[in-house]
Copies of this chain bind each other. A is one copy, B any other.
């Protein structure tokens, strides 16, 4: 029903922390979390999240989230972004990122490009980015998504 977001977040959490090799398996883990739904919907959710199935020596194939951080070769953009990032605050379910002057557009572009479902969109000024999160996505969900995009930010949130 109205808990699609909850499901998507749970799926991300489960497959980042566990080696899951089938939808049945994932489904039962979700059910154990109180999120009961069907394989048909799970199939659609996985497609929506662009989850990949990759070779694993132990389990044959397992589900894996798409790389959210900038692709190989974009380490520069990434550390540039980390450098320009100042802070993030939330108000009324909206996020506001403050950056060093001029950094906002490129950091916002990085977010847009990696396109995590938690963040519907961004609007960048010069040193401020407005983050519009998906419904029912918590502040920490947004922050976790940000960390996946710019791993160097992790230490700022410990």
Contact = CB atoms under 8 A, between A and B. Distances in A.
A72 B75 CA distance: 10
Contact of A55 (B51, B60, B61): B51
A125 interface: no
A60 B50 CA distance: 9
A66 interface: yes
A113 to B, nearest CB: 13
Contacts of A66: 54-55
A52 B55 contact: yes
For chain A, the bracket of interface size reads 10 to 19
A53 interface: yes
Contacts of A72: 72
Interface string A24-59: 000000000000000000000001001111110000
Nearest to A48: B55
A52 B52 CA distance: 8
Q: 7 nearest interchain CB pairs?
A: A50-B55, A52-B54, A53-B53, A52-B55, A55-B66, A72-B72, A52-B52
A76 to B, nearest CB: 12
Given A52-B53, A55-B66, A72-B72, 12 more contacts: A47-B55, A47-B60, A50-B55, A51-B55, A52-B52, A52-B54, A52-B55, A52-B61, A53-B53, A53-B54, A54-B54, A54-B66
